[in-house]
Structure formats: structure tokens, C-alpha cells
């Protein structure tokens, strides 16, 4: 068999991904609510995977970025929610989630659990518990200095539960290695309403930079 044919045959193997073919569709995805971002991520936020968002401070629009997906997942009628109980947890949020605003954004507060944890260890433990309980469709946590091992456990718990798992970490953590299958660094554009997303790692795609117009507060 000529070698060229052999290579062709090898390339048809579905396990082989070719960089020039663009982002491969993520197996199970939650639409982000921002179409440009959906295209970059191959359909949406990957469910059953750990998504790592690197950002310093709070208020740059990172919460608005997540809200459409959160609102969709926390509805009991959604099929993804039915399969996993349709609850959402916020673990160690930086401030109090202000109920009137979250409701206006369409989040079902009857399915949102707020968990306060001081130590970083407890943050990841609480997220893991939430995922292993098979009740949560979404888990969002804020961590300061998570170890690789702890992140790995979280990634495994995410895979088992099939839930959408987001962990916020300080931007300085980008130099550390991470098992997350999606890593995005968030950069605020200071003069307009865009939130810059530097996608450092995504499944089936090279690093890319994009931006989402999260809009001014209504």
C-alpha cells in the first residue's frame, strides 16, 4: 500500500483531529447566549467539563457573561436540568448575589444555592459535593489558589456529573498548569462595552482571542 494512502486512511480515524479543520464541536454544550462565543467554543460552554475563567476583581462583566447559560440551566423544564436536578450553586461568591437583579436576568432563584466558604480547600470541596450529589446542572465557584490536584478532582467530578462547572481564578494563575479543558482569560475593554476573551485552551481548537459585547447595565 502506498504510504500516501496509508496516511489518508489514518486521517479518517475519528480520533485524529486536524488543526486546520477549526474548532471541533464540543460533545455536550450549553449555549452561552452570545453567538460569537458559541462559534468559538464549538457550540457553547462544555458541560461535564471544568471551565476556568481567569479574571482579577469583580465587575468587569464576567457575571453577565455567564447569566444566559445559568438562566437556561436553572429552569426545571430544560432537558439538561431534568437530567441533573436543575439546581445551581454559587460557591464563595465575592459578594451577595442581589436577588432582584438575578431575577430580572431570568435566573430561577428557587433553584439557586449560595454557599459561603472561607478556605480555598472548602470551595473546591463544596463544588465537588454539589456535583457528586447529582442535583446540580451548574456550579460556579470563586477560588484564590487551587492546587492542581484539587482542580483535577473537580474536573473528574464535572465529568461524572455532566454539569456545567465554572471556576473563577485570579489572572496570575494563568501561568500555572491546569487540567481544565477550557481556560479563558477575561480582559475588560476600558472604553466600550466589550469583554475581551483570551481563550487559552479549548477542546479541539487552538488558542484564540475574541470579545463579547455584554452590554451596559439595563
Partner 1 sequence: MSSVPDNLLLPFGDAPPPAPLPVAPAADGVQAAEIRRLWLCLHLPELPLEVMAGGAGRTPRVVVDPARQRPVVAFCNAVAVRQGVQPGMSVNAALALSPGLELHTREPALEQAALERLASGALRFTPQLVLEADALLLEIAASLPLFGGAAALRTAAVAEVEAQGHRVLAAVAPTARAALWLARLHHAVLLTGPAHLPGVLGRLPVAGLGWPAEVQQALRRLGVTRLGECMRLPRDGLARRIGSACLQELDEALGRAPESRPAWRQPSHWQETLELPVETHDTGLVLVALRRLLDRLVAWLRVRQAAVTALRLGLQHRSSPATRLRIGLLQPGTDAAHLAGLAAIHLAAIRLPAPVSAVALEAEETVAATAAAAALPGLGYDRGERIAGLVERLRLRLGLHAVHGVWPAPGHRPEHAWRVLPVPPPGRQAAGEAPARASRPLWLLAQPAALDVRAGTPLLGGPLALERGPERIETGWWDGDDVRRDYYVARDRRGVRAWVFRDCRSGGWYLHGLFG
- Stretch touching partner 1 by CB under 8 A, among 22-30, 98-106, 148-156, 176-184: 98-106
Nearer to partner 1, 12 or 191 (CB): 191
Smallest distance from partner 1 to CB 7, Å: 48
Q: Which of 76, 207, 209, 213 binds partner 1 (CB under 8 A)?
A: 76
Nearer to partner 1, 26 or 165 (CB): 165
Residue 128 lies near partner 1 (rule: CB under 8 A) = no
Nearer to partner 1, 27 or 132 (CB): 132
- Stretch touching partner 1 by CB under 8 A, among 82-90, 151-159, 169-177, 205-213: 82-90
Smallest distance from partner 1 to CB 32, Å: 16
Nearer to partner 1, 52 or 62 (CB): 62
Residues near 135 by beta carbon (within 8 Å), at least 6 away in sequence: 84, 85, 87
Distance of CA 209 to the CA centre of its chain: 16
Residue 2 lies near partner 1 (rule: CB under 8 A) = no
Long-range contacts of 203-210 (CB under 8 A, 24+ apart): 203/24, 203/26, 203/42, 203/46, 203/49, 204/17, 204/23, 204/24, 204/25, 204/26, 204/42, 205/22, 205/23, 205/24, 205/40, 205/42, 206/19, 208/40, 210/36, 210/37, 210/40
Query: C-alpha distances in angstroms, 64 versus 57, 80, 108, 164?
Result: 14, 21, 15, 16
Cell of 86: 436543575
Residues near 134 by beta carbon (within 8 Å), at least 6 away in sequence: 84, 85, 161
Q: Which of 40, 51, 64, 168 binds partner 1 (CB under 8 A)?
A: 64
- Stretch touching partner 1 by CB under 8 A, among 5-13, 165-173, 185-193, 199-207: 185-193
- Cβ–Cβ under 8 Å, residues 73 and 188: no
Residue 116 lies near partner 1 (rule: CB under 8 A) = yes
Binding site for partner 1 (CB under 8 A): 57-64, 67, 76, 82, 85-87, 93-105, 108-117, 122, 125-126, 129-130, 133-136, 188-191, 216-218
Amino acid at each position: 500500500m502506498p504510504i500516501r494512502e496509508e496516511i489518508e486512511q489514518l486521517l479518517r480515524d475519528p480520533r485524529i483531529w486536524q488543526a486546520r479543520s477549526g474548532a471541533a464541536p464540543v460533545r455536550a454544550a450549553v449555549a452561552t447566549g452570545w453567538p460569537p462565543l458559541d462559534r468559538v467554543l464549538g457550540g457553547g460552554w462544555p458541560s461535564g467539563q471544568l471551565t476556568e475563567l481567569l479574571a482579577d476583581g469583580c465587575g468587569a462583566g464576567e457575571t453577565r457573561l455567564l447569566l444566559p447559560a445559568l438562566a437556561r440551566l436553572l429552569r426545571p423544564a430544560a432537558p439538561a436540568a431534568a437530567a441533573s436536578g436543575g439546581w445551581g450553586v454559587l460557591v464563595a461568591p465575592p459578594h451577595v448575589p442581589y436577588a432582584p437583579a438575578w431575577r430580572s436576568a431570568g435566573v430561577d432563584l428557587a433553584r439557586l444555592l449560595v454557599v459561603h466558604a472561607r478556605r480555598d480547600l472548602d470551595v473546591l470541596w463544596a463544588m465537588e459535593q454539589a456535583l457528586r450529589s447529582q442535583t446540580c446542572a451548574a456550579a460556579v465557584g470563586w477560588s484564590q489558589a487551587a492546587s492542581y490536584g484539587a482542580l483535577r478532582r473537580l474536573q473528574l467530578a464535572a465529568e461524572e456529573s455532566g454539569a456545567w462547572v465554572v471556576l473563577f481564578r485570579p489572572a496570575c494563575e494563568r501561568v500555572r498548569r491546569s487540567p481544565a479543558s477550557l481556560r479563558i482569560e477575561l480582559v475588560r475593554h476600558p472604553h466600550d462595552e466589550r469583554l475581551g476573551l483570551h481563550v487559552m485552551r479549548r477542546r479541539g481548537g487552538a488558542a484564540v482571542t475574541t470579545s463579547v459585547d455584554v452590554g451596559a447595565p439595563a
